[in-house]
Amino acid sequence: MTAHTATETGAPFVPGQDPDQQGFFGPHGGCYVPDPLLPVMREIADMYALCRKDPSFQEELDRYLSTYTCRPTPLFLAENLTRKLGGAKIYLKREDLNHLGAHKLNNCLGQILLAKRMGKKEIIAETGAGQHGVASAAAAALMGMTCKVFMGEIDVKRQQPNVLRMQMMGAEVVTVTRENGGLKEAVDEAIEFLMRNPAVFYLIGSAVGPHPYPLMVRNFQSVVGKEIRTQCLALEGRLPDMLIAAVGGGSNAIGMFHPFINDVQVKMVGVEPGGRGSKLGDHAATLSYGSHGVVHGYHSYVLKDENGEVAPVHSISAGLDYPGVGPEHAMLRDAGRAGYAPVSDLEALDALFTLSRLEGIIPALESAHALAYAVKTAPGMPKNAVIVVNLSGRGDKDMPQIMEMMKKKT
């Protein structure tokens, strides 16, 4: 393994900046990959740097974002929920209305256009909730590329609708059975496949992984925060007081937060999966309970056992069930610019039903975590305060899991 060290002048990292040349956001990030993968990462970083400066790349991406993804997504005032809670106004950023039902496509389209410019014909991806797998399968179909998606065995079972959707769009779903059969293991397997097949393009689904992925994914997802800015100014004549997003690897949250980093009056809260409780193995709340470490090619906070090994994690939500977290979130937490808090499985489930019944919107279990935090926080805030919750996805994929849980209860 070649590990880069934090470089530069030793000056504190300023939130909102790009990471340094080696991908460090302060002490977090970097490119901790086995030597054979270093040139692969460098090639992607070089091509991304070129595309970022090329207006034709952004024009092509914008065209797909509007005509294929259906952006901009609306900012919806949840009046019934606001009235019931009796405090701050709650707006929902409707990422659930994107084509395929989640924010994941914003990033997939960006990365697949990059892969196309690199002459790639084959992509691989990992997925937990299946939303990134579905978005990757669609993007690959659109570009005429082949697609292989690694998915943990427990997630294949609990997110069946998405497995079928991936297959319908021509992707091969590889069930990963090792260890806990979850998202971490799916990423492990994808990285090993990339080691053996460095010509494929690994389309990473969150703001994690070795440099340049956390930077690229943040920038591709920043369309969410940019739209919220414009929409909130139009609707309220000012910026929101609080932004709330669920944090798995951290892509929907960083995409929402990034355009507001310099507006220090805007509070930013990342909501982590608190699962069944604070005991190791019962949650996946990395920033709340983890410590510094390296996982999947980057330095950040990691949930580790007493031997320093990456620990098993649990969440009701397949998309949040991950023992690491994007390095930029780790930096934002250290800098105190964003706060991170856990929400339990039951609180998330409760929020899912509350929104379904009050507003006729069934959120994904992941997004229900963000919503649960808003439900707890809004009543203590003044009525003229504005909260925006990133409704990162819709709950269709969770129906079989929820029906199963309801059957057990009756």
Ligand X SMILES: Cc1ncc(COP(=O)(O)O)c(C=O)c1O
User: Which spans of this chain sit near ligand X (rule: CB under 6 A)?
Assistant: 102, 128-129, 131-132, 206, 246-253, 319-320, 364, 366-367, 392-393
User: Under 8 Å CB-to-CB from 2, ≥6 apart: which residues?
Assistant: 32, 33, 34, 35, 38
Is the CB of residue 138 less than 8 Å from the CB of residue 105? yes
Closest approach of ligand X to the CB of residue 10, in Å: 30
Q: How far is CA 156 from the centre of its chain?
A: 19
Closest approach of ligand X to the CB of residue 106, in Å: 10
Q: DSSP states of 298-350 as a string?
A: EEEEE-B-TTSPBPP---SSTTT--SB--HHHHHHHHHTSSEEEEEEHHHHHH
Closest-CA residue to 202 (of 263, 292, 132): 132
Catalytic residue among 126, 227, 347, 359: 126
User: Under 8 Å CB-to-CB from 183, ≥6 apart: which residues?
Assistant: 126, 127, 128, 152, 155, 248, 318, 319, 321, 322
Nearer to ligand X, 4 or 165 (CB): 165
Q: What are phi and psi of 121, to 5 degrees?
A: -120, -15
Catalytic residue among 93, 300, 392, 397: 392
User: Under 8 Å CB-to-CB from 360, ≥6 apart: which residues?
Assistant: none
Catalytic residue among 93, 104, 148, 397: 104
Nearer to ligand X, 131 or 354 (CB): 131
Closest approach of ligand X to the CB of residue 283, in Å: 15
Output the 3-class SS for 218-232. Answer: HHHHCHHHHHHHHHH
Is the CB of residue 185 less than 8 Å from the CB of residue 178? yes
Nearer to ligand X, 4 or 71 (CB): 71
Closest approach of ligand X to the CB of residue 238, in Å: 26
Closest approach of ligand X to the CB of residue 329, in Å: 9
Nearer to ligand X, 72 or 130 (CB): 130
Which helix (H) or strand (E) segment is 146 a member of? strand 146-152
Is position 315 annotated as part of the catalytic site? no
Which helix (H) or strand (E) segment is 93 a member of? strand 89-93
Q: What are phi and psi of 101, to 5 degrees?
A: 90, 20
Cα 80 from Cα 84, distance rounded (Å): 6
Closest approach of ligand X to the CB of residue 369, in Å: 8
Nearer to ligand X, 88 or 183 (CB): 183
Closest approach of ligand X to the CB of residue 85, in Å: 22
Taken as a whole, the chain contains a residue count of 410
Is position 392 annotated as part of the catalytic site? yes
Nearer to ligand X, 82 or 251 (CB): 251
Nearer to ligand X, 253 or 349 (CB): 253
Is position 104 annotated as part of the catalytic site? yes
Q: How far is CA 271 from the centre of its chain?
A: 12
Is the CB of residue 81 less than 8 Å from the CB of residue 355? yes
Which residues are marked as active site?
A: 104, 126, 392
